[in-house]
Amino acid sequence: MSQAAPPAPLAFAAARPLSGAVTVPGDKSISHRSLMLSALAVGTSRIEGLLEGEDVHATAAAMRAMGATIGRDGDAWTVDGVGVGGLLQPDRALEMGNSGTSTRLLLGLVASHAITATFTGDASLSKRPMNRVIEPLSAMGAEFTPSPGGRLPLMVRGIVPAVPIEYRLPVASAQVKSAILLAGLNTPGITRVIEPVPTRDHSERMLRGFGATLDVEELPDGTRIIEITGEAELKPQHIVVPGDPSSAAFPVVAALLVPGSDVVVGNVGLNPTRAGLYTVLRMMGADITLEDERVVGGEPVADLRVRHSGLTGIEVPSEVVPSMVDEFPVLFVAAALASGRTVMRGLDELRVKESDRIAVMAEGLRAIGARVEELEDGLIVDGTGGAPLAGGATVAAHLDHRIAMSFAVAGLVSRAAVTIDDMAPVATSFPGFVELMTGLGAEVR
Ligand code: S3P
């Protein structure tokens, strides 16, 4: 896991125009859910395009430890599930590495099984708040013994039968929503989640795809009421995981910023609850065209053709934040090269990701010559109007893959190279990132 790996510093420098066609690894959110739901189906599921990153490996190891058989068949993964209610007591702690999604979703699964499990994580994950899932899952009857502040390491004792709840999400979080829905799978009756602001809906789509009874009602104000009927029976599936739009964001923004670039990023998932970055970049004047729009594994997918574009700063509408919550670090870099001012607010959740992404990005961007003002809930960036940044600094990734990749992109548009102190965390979500960027023409040393 990234905690144990020695730091891997790498410098990214001004690149010639980027060109070529690439595909990015499978969607991380869908990959986690594919393994979890397949492990709860009765029979053998097949998963193509699974992200083979450390975070997903953490989920796979946990599902194996709780009884699923997970193997490889050529390029595809196979999962023999134990059935809803059939998860077994693991005989060791579940090591979650850097992965918040694995942790929060698996806490939901364990909460409604007769299992007592300890969850551990790396230094980054051990700082992240778990009370957001502990609270609703405790209301369903599970018992938690967390470290101070509701953090990892923590122990959970699940309960059978769990109690169905109705829960209104106090934060816009797909992880919290999904934890409750997964707990609801093995809970008698109807478990209801009320979501005032829509977040990524992969859990809903996939639970239905696996045969669970799940209803979604959308109110005129956009609130979504999601109901899952418990003691579900899941049927094994053949899943094709589309490319991750959150990973595609890095080569896309790099191509927009490096003069003369013309790049195709193929097979990008464009679920509307995930595609906010692409809408915002186009509002800023980005030349991104969607080619060969199609549906893969129940998700909209397209190839993105991206050409270098002069971007203009905007006020980013706060409604789009949940649909691009992971993409702000790289949007900050795009804003640093835009003409004029970009104002981004409503980003409180960025402070509790793999790092405090507002503070860490503000500090690193300043170190390489960008003009930024940190707000409690966001960032104001005054761009260079396309001129390169100064660069010439080493920035700290803080065990955060998206920070590392964002500053890699910044290095490509800086006068002096930008060194990232540790690129190892990139392996959590985007194995092959450095090779992919080098293949497009990036200068990496
Ligand atoms: C995820 C939800 C988001 C996102 C994370 C993946 C998921 O987290 O940041 O990378 O797969 O459900 P929150 O639920 O904390 O917003």
Known catalytic residue at 73 = no
pLDDT score of 52 = 98
Provide the domain limits for residue 311. 10-26+242-444
Confidence of residue 357 (pLDDT cuts 50, 70, 90): very high
Cis peptide before 25 (omega within 30 of 0): no
Mean pLDDT over each residue of the chain, to the nearest integer: 97
The predicted model gives 329-355 an average pLDDT of 98
Cβ neighbors of 411 (< 8 A, separation 6 or more) are: 11, 12, 13, 14, 391, 417, 418, 419, 420
What is the pLDDT, as a whole number, of residue 91? Answer: 97
Domain membership flag for residue 3: no
Q: State mean pLDDT over 290-307.
A: 96
Residues 6+ apart with CB under 8 A from 294: 300, 301, 302
pLDDT at 4: 56
What is residue 5's predicted lDDT score, i.e. its pLDDT?
Answer: 67
d(CA 313, CA 147): 42
Same domain, 196 and 249: no
Has 28 been labeled as part of a binding site? yes
Question: Could you tell me the two tokens for 225?
Answer: 């009421």
Whole-number Å distance between alpha carbons of 257 and 178? 36
Kindly report, residue by residue over 29-77, the tens digit of the pLDDT.
999 999 999 999 999 999 999 999 999 999 999 999 999 999 999 999 9
Residue 284 pLDDT level (bands cut at 50, 70, 90):
very high
In this predicted model, what pLDDT tens digit does every residue of 102-160 receive, in sequence order?
999 999 999 999 999 999 999 999 999 999 999 999 999 999 999 999 999 999 999 99
Domain count within the chain: 2
| Atom 5, ligand 1: residue with shortest CA distance | 101
* CATH, residue 334: 3.65.10.10
Please tell me the residue having the least CA distance from ligand 1 atom 10: 326
Pocket of ligand 1, beta carbon within 6 A: 29, 101, 173-175, 178, 200, 325-326, 349
Q: Is the pLDDT of residue 1 over 70?
A: no
Do residues 233 and 301 share a domain? no
Pocket test for ligand 1, best of 173, 328, 349 (most atoms within 8 A of CB): 173
Kindly state the average pLDDT of the residues 310-339.
98
Which of 175, 206, 324 to mutate for ligand 1's pocket (most ligand atoms within 8 Å of CB)? 175
Over residues 397-420, the pLDDT tens digits come to 999 999 999 999 999 999 999 999
Question: Among residues of the chain, what percentage have pLDDT more than 70?
Answer: 99
Is the domain of 208 the same as that of 292? no
The answer to whether 438 and 250 have CB atoms below 8 angstroms apart is no
* Last residue of one domain, picked from the residues 217, 240, 263: 240
Q: If pLDDT is split at 50, 70 and 90, which confidence band does 297 have?
A: confident
Q: Are 35 and 236 in contact (CB under 8 A)?
A: no
Catalytic residue among 201, 244, 326, 422: 326
Residue range 327-353: mean pLDDT, rounded: 98
Cα of 175 from ligand 1 centre, angstroms: 5
Average of pLDDT values for 318-334?
A: 98
Instruction: Please check if 80 is assigned to a binding site.
Output: no
Q: Which amino acid is at 277?
A: L
**In contact, 355 and 403? CB cutoff 8 Å:** yes
DSSP letters, 241-270, are: PPBPHHHHHHHHHHHHHSTT-EEEEEEEE-
Looking at the structure, tell me whether residues 236 and 365 fall in a common domain: no
435 phi/psi in degrees, rounded to 5: -65, -40
For ligand 1, the distance from its centroid to the CA atom of residue 132, given in whole angstroms, is 13
Does residue 129 contact residue 179 with C-beta atoms inside 8 Å? no
Q: Is 385 left (phi over 0), alpha (psi -120 to 50) or beta?
A: left
Query: pLDDT of 4-34, one tens digit each?
Result: 567 899 999 998 999 999 999 999 999 999 9
Q: Whose CA is nearest to atom 4 of ligand 1?
A: 326
Pair (226, 290) in one structural domain:
no
Is the domain of 207 the same as that of 196?
A: yes
Between CA 233 and CA 95 the distance in angstroms is: 28
Q: Which residue has the tokens 């979504």?
A: 224
Whether 194 contacts 168, CB under 8 Å: yes
Are 14 and 38 in a shared domain?
A: no
Question: Cα(101) to centroid of ligand 1, in Å?
Answer: 6
Average pLDDT over residues 80-89: 98
What is the per-residue pLDDT for 402? 98
- Cα within 13 Å of Cα(439), Cβ side: 14
